[in-house]
Amino acid sequence: MHLGNASVKENALYKTLLLVTLPAFTVACNREPIEPEINDTAREELSSSHDLANTSPFQIETTSSATSGLVGAQEQATPPAKIPFPEIPRSRRGLDFESDPFGPTSEAEQRWLDAHGFPNARQWETYTLASDYLLEQAANAGDRIARTMLDARRLTDDPEARTRLFSAGAEGNIFALSMLAAYMMGSKDGNLQVGYSLSRAAEMRGDSRIAMTREVGMPRKLDDLEKMQAEADAIRMNNQLDRMYREKHGAPPPPPVRRPVVELED
């Protein structure tokens, strides 16, 4: 279970490369090709969008229907008599580091991943290959990871999928924000700058490892102006997520818990 210093570094490098493939996986789920370049017209539209009001470019209405997001989607249907995937572990307890698709290098990081909605190795493998029908059953039975992965698949077909993933982020589901960011950065229907902002918002909410892979996984780098605008948008998104939590729960959100990454602490 525990790794030596050399093994930790090798494992971290391998997982960093593996995590770079997350945008490609998200796009593949939606059968979308990665679009490596943005044409001049799209660039002009992207820049002009920031001349509007000082609000996040990824606005979600904070009505009861929108803020319910993930929870509402689960509560609308009666759980099925037989819950899918009963043999799949719901946590990383007792699981190794090496097979985990999200690269933990300590038990503390495993616990952080569990607490913030990231699937373990068995869930990732099983849910990736599962049908929409089975994922829907699992989601309706309260499996938030199944809900997140199903919503990620539906990003091109369901206009509310973005809302549900973003709203899930307000509830502490960093995996949902990561999947949404990967889609926005990799899909032709996305927006690279918005995807960067979502990734930075996930980092602000505790995911200290995401910065290690963000730009490597992007089809192109943002220019200086785009990056400056994206950073400002990330702050507004983070504030928006806090506001959504307060409006739903009547209390401030708990402070972010920083992901304990061994490599960053050495």
pLDDT digits (tens, 9 = 90+) for 121-164: 999 999 999 999 999 999 999 999 999 999 999 999 998 999 99
Give residue 22's pLDDT.
54
* Crossing angle of helices 22-29 and 144-153, rounded to 10°: 70
How far apart CA 7 and CA 181 sit, in angstroms, is: 30
Chain position carrying tokens 């948008």 = 233
Give the CB-side neighbour count of residue 53, counting CA atoms within 13 A: 4
Q: Which two tokens stand for residue 118?
A: 């990231």
pLDDT tens digit sequence for 211-250: 988 888 789 999 999 999 999 999 999 999 999 999 999 9
Tokens of 120: 């373990």
Give residue for tokens 């689960």.
74
Amino acid sitting at position 59:
Q
Q: Which amino acid is at 99?
A: S
- Please enumerate in sequence order all residues whose Cβ is within 8 A of that of 261, keeping only pairs 6 or more positions apart, or say none: 105, 109, 208, 209
Q: What is the pLDDT of residue 57?
A: 52
DSSP conformational letter for 102: T
Residue 53 burial class via C-beta count within 10 angstroms: exposed 0-12, middle 13-18, buried 19 and up: exposed
pLDDT in tens, 115-126: 999 999 999 999
Q: Quick check: helix, strand or coil at residue 171?
A: coil
Q: Please indicate, yes or no, whether the overall pTM of this predicted structure exceeds 0.95.
A: no
The whole-angstrom distance between residue 136's C-alpha and the CA centroid of its chain comes to: 19
Distance CA 105, CA 109 (A): 7
